[in-house]
A and B are shown apart, each in its own frame.
Chain A
Amino acid sequence: MAPITEKHTAAPRKRRSRQSLAPWLFLAPGFAMFLVYVIVPVFQSMWVSFFEWDGLSPKIWIGLGNYIELFDDEAFYTSLKNNVIWLALYMLAVPAGLMIALFLNQTVRGIRIYKSLFFFPFVISQVVVGLIFSWFYAPDFGLFYKLIEWVTGSQVAILADEHLVTYGIIVAGLWPQIAYCMILYLTGLNAVAPDQIEAARLDGAKGMKMLWYVVLPQLRPATFIALVVTVIGALRSFDLVSIMTSGGPYGSSRVLSYYMYEQALSEYGYRMGYGAAIAVVLFAIMMIFISGFIWKMWRDEQGAR
């Protein structure tokens, strides 16, 4: 009997120690990569933002110098303002996506093909989307250009107009973003409880009332994801600005992400420190949202336990 009891007491201990080491072995390669390429660089950027640095010669410590310069930088405020416009208008993708999802949520022949074709814009690279739209806006022959000329009688070159350019780019960005929100809502609508809808129908609810009081509360998870991806998408916008205008005309379509790139890594300059300072500001803005999301996920996580 003795060996058996010994085995019984030894095995759990061995297993427990195995189990305390195992997660770290599984985590090590992925965690190391993530640490080196994502976590540490965030702090390195913050550090670099206190220096005047061209990327090659020795760094010169200037403390808050870069941030003080940002305060008086006209271009910085333009970028910041455009980021706010992006954020506000990008939100349209959420209701627009919901509308298209409601339109497509039927069971007729071929509806699945329709759904996937509506999703198309999201799968295509933003570079291609940017090219497509700049061609649509092109003066003299662009389709939008001609349309505006036909409707209003005046000629408007959207991407060359400093007051309209940001809106023109946002429209291009909304196209794939709406598609993204649409697919989230289509999946959400699939999961809406049919008996609740039926019960509400018996109570005489329909149309907007039904949508607002019965359907939307059930779509809350889809709405949450749609908001997250839309906020992040709006603040990360870089590709379209770069492709369609390179921040122009006269820097009027810059956003923080593009302005940072321009300062740190383009023919206009190699001001790594100043660029890093801009990136830190963008990061700080995004952190407000990111912490909000994480906070909500953490609460859900506690609830699940």
Chain B
Amino acid sequence: MFPRPIQGLSPTAQRAYKIALPVMLILWLLPLLGVAMTSVRPTSDLAAGNYFGWPSALAFDNYLTVFKNTALDKYLLNSFKVTIPTVIGAVGLSCLTGFALAIYKFRANHLLFFMFVAGNFVPFQILMVPVRDLTVSLGLYNSISGLALFHIAFQTGFCTLFMRNFIKGLPFDLIEVARVEGVTEWQIFRHVVMPLMRPAIAALSVLVFTFIWNDYFWAMVLTTGADTQPITAGLNSLNGQWIAAWNLVSAGSILAALPPVLMFFAMQRHFIAGLTLGAVK
């Protein structure tokens, strides 16, 4: 193990390490702690100039106020409406594409695979004008489905890379045996490979959930207004409206950050496995 396990060091060094851990953590998360604290700061504190000191009282009603006075509930709901279909769509499609690229040998295999990989790294700006046009001409501009449809398509790139590498790691004998038994290709996919893909599906779902929940650019390009915009774009307009009400903006930020954070904690192992497996095998 590297570095040398702390248990082998002197008791003083061990104690120093145990003190350093929480100190480093607090420094590291200071920006976040600041926001969390401000989100429960009463407005009177801000008026009195108490921005970073201890709050004079805990004003949890900031969270209620931000719901009451803004369209935050709509924005949050929109985020779910965009994110959930995208996760299902992109993961579903990439199960199929990943299977095809991992199992079959055909001439364009590598070309297609690298096309998915490269497309996934492309800057969003080169897609912006045509994708916006396409969405307008489909009559889907400023609609949840227009945004979700693009996300499904784009995420399919990353998801295909991920699924293909995962399936490539499965024992190929299983498929050979099934073929000799005369099982159809679809049944092989459905009954042999799919059950083994569960961990990959879980990992990919949390990752895609986080990516899409946190998307801001496409929300700005393809939607306007509280009826369709997700929370990221909503927060931006909230920030414009409530420029001085930092406690309310903070409460909104915490709410916006919560779903991916909860998701991460619930499925931590999958999330991290996904990040490292997804990037390169």
Closest 6 CB pairs of A and B: A37-B153, A41-B130, A26-B100, A125-B214, A30-B93, A30-B97
Out of B32, B97, B239, B272, name the residue touching A26 (CB < 8 Å). B97
- Residues in B99-139 with C-beta less than 8 Å from chain A: 99-101, 103-104, 106, 109-110, 112, 114-119, 121-134
Q: Which of A66-74, A85-93, A157-165, A286-294 contacts B (4 or more CB under 8 A)?
A: A286-294
User: B31 contacts A133, CB within 8 Å?
Assistant: yes
Give chain A residues whose Cβ lies under 8 Å from the Cβ of B202. none
Q: Which of B29, B96, B121, B126 contacts A120 (CB 8 A)?
A: B29
**A128 and B96 within 8 A (CB):** no
> In the bound complex, how far is the Cα of B2 from the Cα of A189, in angstroms?
7
Expressed in whole angstroms, the Cα–Cα distance for A22 and B152 within the complex equals: 23
Can you name the residue of chain B whose Cβ is closest to the Cβ of A106?
B6
A260 touches B128 (CB 8 A): yes
Cα of A133 to Cα of B32 in the assembled complex, Å: 10
Out of A117, A242, A243, A290, name the residue touching B121 (CB < 8 Å). A290
Decide: A272 near B129, CB < 8 A? Known: A103-B24, A127-B256, A242-B216. yes
Complex: A254 Cα to B82 Cα, angstroms:
29
Please tell me if B34 contacts chain A, counting CB pairs below 8 Å: yes
Complex alpha-carbon distance, A127 and B5, angstroms = 38
Q: How far is the CA of A19 from the CA of B38 in the complex (A)?
A: 61
Is A33 within 8 A of B93, CB to CB?
A: yes
**SS of B interface (majority):** helix
Contact A297 B97 (CB under 8 A): no
B279 at the interface (CB under 8 A from A): yes
- The answer to whether A257 has its CB under 8 Å from any CB of chain B is yes
Q: What 0/1 pattern do residues 162 to 199 of B give for CB contact below 8 A with A?
A: 00000000000000000100101110010000000000
CA distance A161 to B130 in the complex (A): 36
Residue of B110, B130, B257, B276 with most partner-chain A CB within 10 A: B130
- CB-based contact B124/A108 at 8 Å: no
Check: B49 CB closer than 8 A to any chain A CB. yes
Q: Which residues of chain B are near A239, meaning CB under 8 Å?
A: 216-217
Segment at the interface with A among B54-62, B63-71, B259-267: B259-267
Task: Tell me which residues across on chain B come within 8 A of A15, comparing CB atoms.
Answer: 179
A189 proximity list for chain B (CB < 8 A): 2
- Given A114-B21, A275-B128, check contact A22 B100 (CB 8 Å): yes
**B127 near A42 (CB under 8 angstroms)?**
yes
Chain A residue at minimal CB-CB distance from B262? A123
Q: Is B44 an interface residue (CB 8 A)?
A: no
A62 at the binding interface (Cβ < 8 Å): no
- Number of A-B residue pairs having CB atoms within 8 Å of each other in the complex: 284
Q: For residue A257, give the distance in angstroms from its CB to the closest CB of chain B.
A: 5
CA distance A261 to B157 in the complex (A): 23
Per-position 1/0 for A31-42, Cβ under 8 A of B: 101101111111
Chain A binding surface, main DSSP class: helix
Check if B110 sits within 8 Å of A301, measured CB to CB: yes
Please determine whether A131 and B239 come into contact, CB atoms closer than 8 angstroms.
yes
The 8 Å CB contact of B1, one of A117, A175, A197, A211, is: A197
Which residues in A have their C-beta under 8 angstroms from that of B150?
A: 37
* Chain B residues, Cβ within 8 Å of A27: 96-97, 100-101, 112
Interface size on B, residues (CB 8 A): 98
A202-220 contacts to B, CB under 8 A, are: 206, 210-211, 214-215
Q: Which one of B49, B179, B214, B261 has the highest number of Cβ atoms from chain A below 10 Å of its Cβ?
A: B214
Which residue of B104, B128, B131, B214 contacts A261 across the interface (Cβ within 8 Å)? B128
**Cα–Cα distance between A127 and B1 once the two chains are bound (Å):** 38
Partner of B235, one of A119, A127, A133: A127
Q: Are A260 and B125 in contact, CB atoms less than 8 angstroms apart?
A: yes
Residues on A with beta carbons closer than 8 Å to the beta carbon of B261: 120, 123-124
In the bound complex, how far is the Cα of B127 from the Cα of A137, in angstroms?
33
| Residues 229 to 268 of chain B near chain A (Cβ within 8 Å) | 232, 235-236, 239, 246, 249-250, 253, 256-257, 260-261, 264-265, 268
Question: Nearest residue in B to A20 (C-beta to C-beta)?
Answer: B106
Confirm or deny: A236 has a beta carbon within 8 angstroms of a beta carbon on chain B: yes
Q: Are B152 and A26 in contact, with the CB atoms below 8 A?
A: no
Give Cα distance in the complex from A118 to B132, angstroms.
37
CA distance A192 to B272 in the complex (A): 17
Contact B134 A37 (CB under 8 A): yes
With A107-B5, A125-B213, A126-B214 known as contacts, the answer to whether A278 contacts B125 (CB < 8 A) is yes
* A37-B127 contact given A128-B257, A135-B35, A298-B114, CB 8 Å threshold: yes
Residues on A with beta carbons closer than 8 Å to the beta carbon of B7: 107
The proximity string for A residues 220-242 relative to B, scoring 1 for CB distances below 8 Å and 0 otherwise, is: 01101100110010011011001
